[in-house]
């Protein structure tokens, strides 16, 4: 996991490209089915029956019919072969793995976190924001779980994730952050978008951060990102420095801000002290 990598542990092998391709094809086929009225789906089923009858299919089963329907849809959508998809996919992932692709800077706290992420690491993101942190970490191989009380923000992120071919790596939950209570071991690291906390009272923010800290494994990290406009409360802003004191018992690394941004609101990384030997 991410924490072991930071301590010099062996990295896991990357996910199978063939598995990602199969997932991509399945997702596109299911999206197409969902877009059609029932009468059109039944029509594709009839077409599949005719094709199977002409191919001397010995035993017609539900699985065989379903596969033939998927084959017809795949032809209609002109979905790429594995070879063609792999060439485009690798080029896309190379671009997506760069922070600048999402408007992030090399000195942003989430960028440092992305350098430590391994395939399959679970990262919790508090706040959908503009999706940059979530999509960047997913492109780096993380399984990203997003919690945000704003259904419109979550819906927008989910749609963007699908269009970027990262939907399978991102799971969103619409939940009031005052109620969010992840269990220990639920994630390897956490990103806190301060804009998502802007409408909360100081007491509610402190309680949330403490629950997140309690659920973080030893040597785990929180990347606290300087926030944009928050949900509710008139779209107010919350400085990352406003919650820095809540990490006084952790090791805090400051980051230099973007040009033009006040250094005091550049975000920071907080690392939970390792367990005593």
Which domains are delineated in the chain? 18-82 (no CATH), 99-271 (3.40.50.150)
- In this structure, of 75-89, 90-104, 119-133, 217-231, the range with the lowest mean pLDDT score is 217-231
Tell me, what's the pLDDT at 8? 44
Least confident of 51-55, 121-125, 130-134, 254-258: 254-258
pLDDT of residue 97: 92
- Compute, in degrees rounded to 10, the torsion defined by CA atoms 100, 141, 170, 26: 110
Count of alpha carbons within 13 Å of 175, Cβ hemisphere only?
Answer: 15
Q: Which two tokens stand for residue 240?
A: 């990352």
277 — pLDDT class (breaks 50, 70, 90): very low
Q: What pLDDT does residue 147 have?
A: 96
Average pLDDT over residues 231-248: 75
Q: Where are the alpha helices (DSSP H) in the chain?
A: 2-6, 17-35, 38-54, 62-77, 82-96, 109-114, 132-139, 151-163, 202-215
137 pLDDT higher than 90: yes
Q: pLDDT class for 5, splitting at 50, 70, 90?
A: very low
Query: Residue 63: pLDDT band by 50, 70, 90 thresholds?
Result: confident
Confidence band of 57 (pLDDT split at 50, 70, 90): low
pTM (two decimals):
0.75
**Mean pLDDT within 130-142:** 95
Residue range 203-232: average pLDDT? 87
pLDDT(231) > 60: no
pLDDT digit string, tens, across residues 193-217: 998 998 899 999 999 999 999 999 9
Report the alpha-carbon distance of residue 88 to residue 242 in Å, rounded: 43
- Name the nearest CA neighbour of 147 among 86, 212, 99: 212
Q: How far is it, in rounded angstroms, from Cα 161 to Cα 183?
A: 26
């Amino acid at each position: 996991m991410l924490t072991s990598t930071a301590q010099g542990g062996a990295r896991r092998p990357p996910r199978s490209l063939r598995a990602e391709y199969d997932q991509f094809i399945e997702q596109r086929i299911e999206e197409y089915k969902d877009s059609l009225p029932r009468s059109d789906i039944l029509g594709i089923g009839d077409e599949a029956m005719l094709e199977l009858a002409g191919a001397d299919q010995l035993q017609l089963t539900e699985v065989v019919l379903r596969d033939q329907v998927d084959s017809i849809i795949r032809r209609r959508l002109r979905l790429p072969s594995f070879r063609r998809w792999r060439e485009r996919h690798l080029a896309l992932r190379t671009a997506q793995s760069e922070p600048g692709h999402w408007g992030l800077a090399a000195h942003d706290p989430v960028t440092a976190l992305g350098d430590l992420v391994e395939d399959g690491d679970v990262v919790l993101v508090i706040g959908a924001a503009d999706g940059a942190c979530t999509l960047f970490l997913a492109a780096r191989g993380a399984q990203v779980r997003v919690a945000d009380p704003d259904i419109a923000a979550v819906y927008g992120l989910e749609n963007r994730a699908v269009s970027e071919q990262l939907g399978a790596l991102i799971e969103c939950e619409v939940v009031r952050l005052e109620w969010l209570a992840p269990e220990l071991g639920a994630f390897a690291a956490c990103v806190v978008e301060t804009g998502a906390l802007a409408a909360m009272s100081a007491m509610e923010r402190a309680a949330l951060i403490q629950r997140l800290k309690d659920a973080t494994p030893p040597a785990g990290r929180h990347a606290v990102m300087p926030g944009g406009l928050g949900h509710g409360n008139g779209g107010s802003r919350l400085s990352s420095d406003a919650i820095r004191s809540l990490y006084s018992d952790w090791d805090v690394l400051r980051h230099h801000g973007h040009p033009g941004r006040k250094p005091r609101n550049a975000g920071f990384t907080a690392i939970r002290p390792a367990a005593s030997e």
